[in-house]
Amino acid sequence: MDNVLNHIGIENYIFLSVILFCIGVFGVLYRRNAIIVFMSIEIMLNAVNLLFVAFSTYHQDANGQVFVFFSMAVAAAEVAVGLAILVAVFRNIGSIDVANLKNLKG
């Protein structure tokens, strides 16, 4: 079977992952809407998943691909919980701006 890595080199996948991850990080850091922060987290997760799959193919080892399934399952659960929290937060303070969530101030 033809290896996809023969057409596009592994380093490109790494670059793409790093770029996606950085986008995610900056999204988390700079956006104040909680939903977008969430999306940014998802982007980071998926960047890692992409890297998993790429290296899995590179090493001819299926473990990485299996791990991605777990990762996606956990991410789905996290989103469910996270969105539920957001709904609760919105009901309480009428906003989902993370800058307003300051009740834990010491």
**Token reading at 35:** 């939903």
Q: Pick from 28, 53, 79, 86 the residue near other proteins by CB under 8 A.
A: 28
Which of the stretches 11-19, 24-32, 56-64, 66-74 binds other proteins when contact is defined by CB under 8 A? Answer: 24-32
Which of the stretches 26-34, 49-57, 64-72, 79-87 binds other proteins when contact is defined by CB under 8 A? Answer: 26-34
Which of the stretches 2-10, 50-58, 67-75, 97-105 binds other proteins when contact is defined by CB under 8 A? Answer: 97-105
Residue 40 burial (CB count, 10 A): 19
Binding site for other proteins (CB under 8 A): 25, 28-29, 32, 98-99, 101-106
